């Protein structure tokens, strides 16, 4: 039996990645048997090389090898392609036709994209795997075939089974041995070797000097995720070989051929979408501002009571300095909560608050009147908010209550209370 390095040279496989080597070793080991093999891996990783290796090292190597792309054959004709049909079996069946399983008798069939097979075809395939029997479309005569099946897919077969798109019994029959080909991003040490090989091949093909990457371009080549794997790498090498006049390729030049090359490779955490849309977020901000303002009002009441009890202003300022700064801000600036609230108001309602001035003693006796006026003002604001919300929601109390953040029962009580 040929060793691993000889197999790589024979089939043009480049790379020394440990996962790749392990996959190839498994293919070499199972080749002499008739075990069914399922090759898995992302699109473009080169899964088609594995069934060729298996066939060439098996006792069937002198018989037929047929590769079938299951995803490329229309659902209505795939049974005919695989198993054949009798004359008159369907419209257009003008003569009897042999299918791939009949033609490849004694050889190997490679079913690429086997996950795309219709469920009816999967039943027929399961019968072939279990006892080597099949029926042509439109025939009642059971035929025998002796074929080795190697299948490949880029689908998550377990998920496909859960969704009812693939038969579980067929999956276990196909995957007696499963060989996984790693994606190119997990074979970082092989990326530059593959690029150089492709660049050399295209230089010879188009009769022009081979392109070469500078150091920065090589680093970009290794960092890129290569979602299209080897197929994408080959296409990029061909495009650059044909389109670039300069044979020395810089990082910026290479970058122009790599879609989304500047995207981070780090996983992205996507926050769950809000069920109520952007308005929900705005309402949460408004609630926070109102709670902050309520806390500031309580602090202001506490400060006012201290001023009423004490006749020494400097002592009050000294003892409650942090509280005064919290309410009025440093150097008389507008507090953060108040600034945010003003920003949320309509333009015609925005007013700038005067800076804080320590109250004089002759103003103390107005404290009760100020508190009463503030209470009336809040009540008017509440009535105004309820009116606006009802108008915006066209009189629908449930929607208005949800917007105001109160229960529908509370809103109804306030409508009755304010005679709205």
Looking at 208, 223, 255, the residue that finishes a domain is 255
Strands, E assignment, 34-76: 37-40, 65-69
Q: Residue 128: which of 104, 107, 101 has the closest Cα?
A: 101
Q: What is the pLDDT of residue 241?
A: 95
Do 147 and 34 fall into the same domain?
yes
Looking at 141, 163, 182, the residue that finishes a domain is 182
Angle between helices 49-56 and 18-30 (to 10 degrees): 40
> What is the C-alpha separation between 349 and 44, in angstroms, rounded?
62
Q: Residue 174: which of 68, 38, 50 has the closest Cα?
A: 38
Do 224 and 338 fall into the same domain?
no
- Pull the structure tokens for residue 315: 């002592």
> Does a structural domain hold residue 269?
no
Do 199 and 74 fall into the same domain?
no
Domain at 157, CATH number: 3.40.50.300
Number of domains in the chain: 4
> Does a structural domain hold residue 416?
yes
Do 124 and 228 fall into the same domain?
no
Do 17 and 163 fall into the same domain?
yes
Q: Kindly report the pTM of this predicted structure.
A: 0.62
> What is the C-alpha separation between 380 and 298, in angstroms, rounded?
20
**Contact partners, residue 370, CB within 8 Å, separation at least 6:** none
Residue 364 pLDDT > 50 = no
Domain at 399, CATH number: 1.10.10
Query: In 3-state terms, what secondary structure has residue 178?
Result: strand
> What is the C-alpha separation between 311 and 316, in angstroms, rounded?
9
> Does a structural domain hold residue 33?
yes
> Model confidence at 361, in pLDDT bands (50, 70, 90)?
very low
Do 86 and 115 fall into the same domain?
yes
> Does a structural domain hold residue 199?
yes
Do 111 and 131 fall into the same domain?
yes
Q: What is the pLDDT of residue 293?
A: 75
Q: pLDDT for 28-74, tens place per residue?
A: 999 999 999 999 999 999 999 999 999 999 999 999 999 999 999 99
Residue 268 pLDDT > 90 = no
Domain containing 403: what range? 366-420
- Pull the structure tokens for residue 4: 């691993």
The torsion angle over the Cα atoms of residues 82, 88, 93 and 99, rounded to 10 degrees, is 20
> Model confidence at 84, in pLDDT bands (50, 70, 90)?
very high
Over its C-alpha atoms, the chain yields an Rg (Å, rounded) of: 38
- Pull the structure tokens for residue 47: 């899964």
Q: What is the pLDDT of residue 308?
A: 63
> Does a structural domain hold residue 270?
no
Do 172 and 192 fall into the same domain?
no
When comparing pLDDT for 164 and 277, which is higher? Answer: 164
Do 135 and 218 fall into the same domain?
no
Do 24 and 151 fall into the same domain?
yes
Do 30 and 78 fall into the same domain?
yes
Do 224 and 335 fall into the same domain?
no
Domain at 244, CATH number: 1.10.8.60
Report DSSP state, residue 74.
-
Bridge partners, residue 248, by sequence: 212
């Amino acid at each position: 039996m040929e060793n691993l390095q000889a197999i790589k040279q024979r089939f043009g496989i480049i790379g020394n990645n440990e996962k790749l080597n392990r996959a190839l070793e498994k293919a070499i080991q199972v080749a002499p048997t008739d075990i069914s093999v399922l090759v898995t891996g992302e699109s473009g990783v080169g899964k088609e090389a594995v069934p060729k290796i298996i066939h060439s090292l098996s006792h069937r190597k002198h018989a037929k090898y047929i590769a079938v792309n299951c995803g490329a054959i229309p659902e209505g004709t795939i049974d005919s392609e695989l198993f054949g049909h009798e004359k008159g079996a369907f419209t257009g069946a003008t003569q009897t036709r042999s299918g791939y399983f009949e033609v490849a008798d004694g050889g190997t069939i490679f079913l690429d994209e086997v996950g795309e097979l219709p469920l009816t075809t999967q039943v027929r395939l399961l019968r072939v795997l279990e006892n080597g029997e099949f029926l042509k479309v439109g025939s009642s005569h059971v035929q025998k075939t002796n074929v080795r099946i190697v299948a490949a897919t880029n689908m998550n077969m377990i998920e496909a089974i859960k969704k009812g798109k693939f038969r579980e019994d067929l999956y276990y029959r196909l995957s007696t041995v499963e060989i996984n080909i790693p994606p190119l991003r997990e074979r970082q040490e092989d990326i530059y070797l593959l690029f150089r090989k492709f660049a050399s091949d295209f230089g010879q093909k188009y009769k022009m000097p081979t392109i070469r990457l500078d150091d920065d371009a090589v680093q970009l080549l290794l960092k890129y995720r290569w979602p299209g794997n080897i197929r994408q790498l080959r296409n990029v090498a061909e495009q650059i070989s044909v389109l670039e006049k300069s044979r020395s390729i810089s990082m910026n030049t290479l970058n122009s051929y790599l879609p989304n090359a500047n995207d981070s490779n780090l996983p992205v955490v996507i926050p769950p979408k809000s069920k109520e849309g952007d308005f929900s977020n705005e309402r949460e901000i408004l609630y926070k501002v109102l709670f902050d303002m309520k806390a500031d009002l309580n602090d202001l009441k506490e400060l006012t009571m201290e001023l009423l009890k004490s006749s020494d202003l400097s002592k009050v300022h000294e003892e409650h300095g942090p509280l005064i700064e919290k309410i009025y801000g440093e150097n008389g600036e507008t507090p953060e909560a108040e600034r945010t609230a003003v920003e949320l108001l309509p333009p015609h309602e925005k007013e700038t608050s005067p800076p804080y001035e320590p109250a004089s003693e002759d103003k103390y006796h107005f404290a009760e009147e100020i508190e009463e006026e503030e209470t009336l003002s809040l009540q008017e604001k509440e009535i105004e908010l309820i009116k606006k919300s009802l108008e915006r929601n066209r009189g629908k109390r449930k929607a208005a209550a949800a917007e105001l953040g109160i229960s529908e029962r509370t809103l109804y009580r306030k409508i009755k209370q304010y005679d709205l």
